[in-house]
Structure 1
């Protein structure tokens, strides 16, 4: 499995790695400053070991930018676009990558052209596993017996990019960030990373089951896609969330349908979902910031309102939480 990212406009490789040749059993890590141009800033972090490659990249470009992404050998890809308006280019069409969805594929020997328009900052995260690494990782997991993606890989049936995609949820979003950030101690890094990778694949399996159940909730396919987009959008923007009216415009669905189908799909209102996301984040901020700083980070204009919401959720105030 050989992986290269080459920026067409400047004819430079951002990175070029062959994880199959790595002999070090530990996870290797590099921060790549990227090429220096007045119109382009690129910041990339890569981690790799034999059969595994992880990339986390930010682009800020004042001109259109093209990334030629080449992968040789069989591979499993799990990728997430958190920010940007990227499109995949092929002979017949231009496909939007789609913010807020995790895309999965199983393929081999591919060259993908990704267009990133000017003045639209891009942030993407991606995991690439060799077939051997993937099968070894999940060989003892009981749930894979009922997982269609795993079955395709076992049987060698390729799945192109975009065939399997799932809306990001807060748990998956959090794990993805942990994996791509890679801040754990070197001695335990490989062990801990494999545990988190298993968690990602299990979360995707549960997402698949949830989507299958959605067909029994009376939500048609077109609306389901819009509800999933709304859900993913809120996860990225919960600190400064849109109004229901603004969200309805973003996903092209009327407000009543949006509220009704969102609750059908996720068992909670949009408002309660935003509060849940904020409180999950608030708990992770305890001890790192003052209460007023936490309120500001989470988009609360009133500190007392934030404290009351936190207490309703957890049964204690943020200050009391520091002593628990």
Structure 2
């Protein structure tokens, strides 16, 4: 598998990796800071046989075209955390927006992709995981939930999945797995085993959430489902400073009533309660990482520590301090 990228005609990455899965192959990790007239930021690259993880965090100075060329059959998992970009045709004509907070899965052979990245004065943050077909099938060959799936049949029969065909707004669990993949510090056989475990967990979570989505979308129009999914994706990446329902309805171009009722139907939460759920899940993670309560409150969007503690107790039935103490005792 070869992965080549460039920014406005200037090469930024060119690597070739073998397609097989080999737990004894070296895990190469490279970090690179870059700055030019279009973009300023950093790139983290992790690759080994059959697997390449590309993580970018940068500020866009001017609009630019990001070109990707991938050779050989591969599966791509991509997630834009923040920013604005669009997939283009060869003639640089618009195809579709890439939405923040929405995971895309694609299965392609040789492919050339152009992405237009817009200057919106915020940090752009995205991850792309490229997996060779051989690696992907070996990784999941003993998972019945996968081998009996439509996706397995498509990949086995070389029925390609284009960008935009398989999309899913991410939840906190999926975001956390991406974070764990990026921050894996293990090397050697242990490092390979960790990636195998987390990739399986990620793909399983995608399957579970995609299946749940299919079961709950029968009575809502497809175009409304897409807009409600965009609303959920926006909340997943902006829960610490969420828009009002009116603002959110304007962002996704769906009236407030359809947004509120459709959201509750799809996800079993009101928009307000879903924001609280996201905040409490993140608070839980930060507590176990040792962050002080007042810092957690500010990080997840509460203006006062007392308000955060009251919300936490209502959600979990315990104050943050009691929650940590009880968890320590049970362990």
How far did residue 118 of structure 1 move?
2.5
Q: Distance in 2 between matches of 1:318 and 1:39?
A: 44
Q: Distance in 2 between matches of 1:187 and 1:145?
A: 25
Q: 1:85-138: per-residue Cα shift (whole Å, max 9, x none)?
A: 111110474121222211111111111111112245422111111111000000
Q: Distance in 1 between matches of 2:5 and 2:38?
A: 19
Give the 3 Å change call, closer, same or farther, for CA 227–21 of structure 1 in structure 2. Answer: closer
> What TM-score results when the alignment is normalised by the length of structure 2?
0.91
The SS at the match of 1:29 is strand
Q: Distance in 2 between matches of 1:149 and 1:136?
A: 14
Give the 3 Å change call, closer, same or farther, for CA 186–308 of structure 1 in structure 2. Answer: farther
Unaligned 5+ segments in structure 1 are: none
CA contact (8 A) 1:89 1:113 kept: yes
CA contact (8 A) 2:101 2:234 kept: yes
The SS at the match of 1:215 is coil
Q: 1:30-83: per-residue Cα shift (whole Å, max 9, x none)?
A: 11112x335520311111110000011123122111111111111111101111
> Moved runs in structure 1, 4+ residues, more than 3 A?
21-24, 183-187
> What TM-score results when the alignment is normalised by the length of structure 1?
0.93
Pairing 1:202–2:200 present: no
Q: 1:138-165: per-residue Cα shift (whole Å, max 9, x none)?
A: 0000101442222100111111222211
Please give the residue correspondences for 1:269-284 in structure 2 after superposition, counting only pairs within 5 Å: 269-284=270-285
How far did residue 207 of structure 1 move?
2.4
Q: Distance in 2 between matches of 1:71 and 1:96?
A: 21
CA contact (8 A) 1:85 1:97 kept: yes
Counterpart residue number, 1:294: 296
CA contact (8 A) 2:26 2:48 kept: yes
Pairing 1:259–2:257 present: no
CA contact (8 A) 2:38 2:64 kept: no
Pairing 1:315–2:317 present: yes
Aligned length: 320
Q: Distance in 1 between matches of 2:226 and 2:235?
A: 14
Counterpart residue number, 1:33: 33
Counterpart residue number, 2:75: 76
CA contact (8 A) 1:86 1:122 kept: no
Q: Please report the RMSD computed on the Cα atoms of aligned residues, expressed in angstroms.
A: 1.9
Counterpart residue number, 2:184: 182
The SS at the match of 2:25 is coil
How far did residue 3 of structure 1 move?
0.4
How far did residue 27 of structure 1 move?
2.3
Q: Distance in 2 between matches of 1:170 and 1:100?
A: 10
Counterpart residue number, 2:231: 230
The SS at the match of 2:240 is coil
Q: Distance in 2 between matches of 1:119 and 1:60?
A: 9
The SS at the match of 2:57 is strand
Please give the residue correspondences for 1:1-324 in structure 2 after superposition, counting only pairs within 5 Å: 1-8=1-8, 11-20=9-18, 25-34=25-34, 36-37=35-36, 39-91=38-90, 93-94=93-94, 95-120=96-121, 121-184=123-186, 188-216=190-218, 218-286=219-287, 287-323=289-325, 324=328
CA contact (8 A) 2:26 2:188 kept: yes
How far did residue 214 of structure 1 move?
2.2
CA contact (8 A) 2:74 2:132 kept: yes
CA contact (8 A) 1:147 1:205 kept: no
Unaligned 5+ segments in structure 2 are: none
Q: Distance in 2 between matches of 1:256 and 1:111?
A: 41
